[in-house]
Amino acid sequence: MKPDGFALAATTNDLTREPKVRDVADVIEFRMDKAEDPIEQLSEYDGELSLIATNRGQWFGGQARDTGRLDLLFTASEFDCVEMVDIELETARGSGWVIPEFRDNDVDVIISYHAFEDTPDQETLDAIFEQCSQYGEVAKVATFAESYGDALRMLNAVHRATDEGKQVAGIAMGGVGSHTRAVAPLYGSKLGYAPLPSDTSEYAPGQISIHTLASMIETFSSPEQYEAQLPNPDGAVAKKSGVVGTE
């Protein structure tokens, strides 16, 4: 399931919440590492949205133990509702043999890289996107922005990688970088992530709730919607309607 255009993923550890986001999300990111009985949830899932299965290890900001982590993710990939899996770049480097096995289950692979303390320089950031692209169908890179310059480097890296024909997702985490979640699609980012408002789990710093982010993306992606937000000659601001819908 390579993204066709941009896809907004609603991140949750509870698949029963899927109906709450059908009107705004294109796909569900199922955080297995923070879920209760994840395989049972998958076996009972009858939602309309397809899934990205993520079983993030403790070293990468998640809660899954290393022992059996990939085996559990592989089991998830056998379910028809799962169309993509997320595997860390470091994991792919050390266990590259697992990638073909996942593809044998007819799923695409997101190769992700996370830097929770800073954003690398431009050359390094570009190289990370390149390395992720070598292993997976989609390269997802999330770094922590300490300045707007950091956020700008991320957007530039997304733009450059997209120009080279790569399928990428780029996010600058943290408050300073939160706006990149809304504008990154303009630079070529193919995937966005947002939690449900009712979800108390923190998946990444600086996240924006799904309905708010969907509305922001729609505004920036549509010139008419953006212009409707601008003050009119009488000083009033027009109201915007409409959010990102499922395809």
pLDDT of residue 199: 64
Distances (CA, A) of 237 to 224, 226, 227, 230: 14, 11, 10, 6
Q: What is the pLDDT of residue 43?
A: 98
Domain segments of the chain as ranges: 7-229
Q: Give the pLDDT of residue 240.
A: 32
If one counts every other C-beta atom within 10 angstroms of the C-beta of residue 89, the result is 21
Query: What is the model's pLDDT at position 232?
Result: 52
The 10s digit of each residue's pLDDT in 63-91 is 677 778 999 999 999 999 999 999 999 99
- Distance, in Å, from the CA atom of 221 to the CA atom of 245, rounded to the nearest integer, reads 13
Say what the pTM is. Answer: 0.86
Q: What values do phi and psi take at 237, rounded to 5? A: -115, 125
Sign of CA dihedral 15, 17, 18, 24: negative
pLDDT tens string for the chain (247 positions)?
A: 455 689 999 999 999 999 999 999 999 999 999 999 999 999 999 999 999 999 997 677 666 777 789 999 999 999 999 999 999 999 999 886 789 999 999 999 999 999 999 999 999 999 999 999 999 999 999 999 999 999 999 999 999 999 999 999 999 999 999 999 999 999 999 999 999 876 655 566 778 999 999 999 999 887 554 455 555 545 443 333 333 333 3
User: Which CATH entry fits the domain spanning 7-229: 3.40.50.300, 3.40.50.2000, 3.30.310.160, 3.20.20.70?
Assistant: 3.20.20.70
Active-site amino acid positions: 114, 140
Distance, in Å, from the CA atom of 173 to the CA atom of 189, rounded to the nearest integer, reads 15
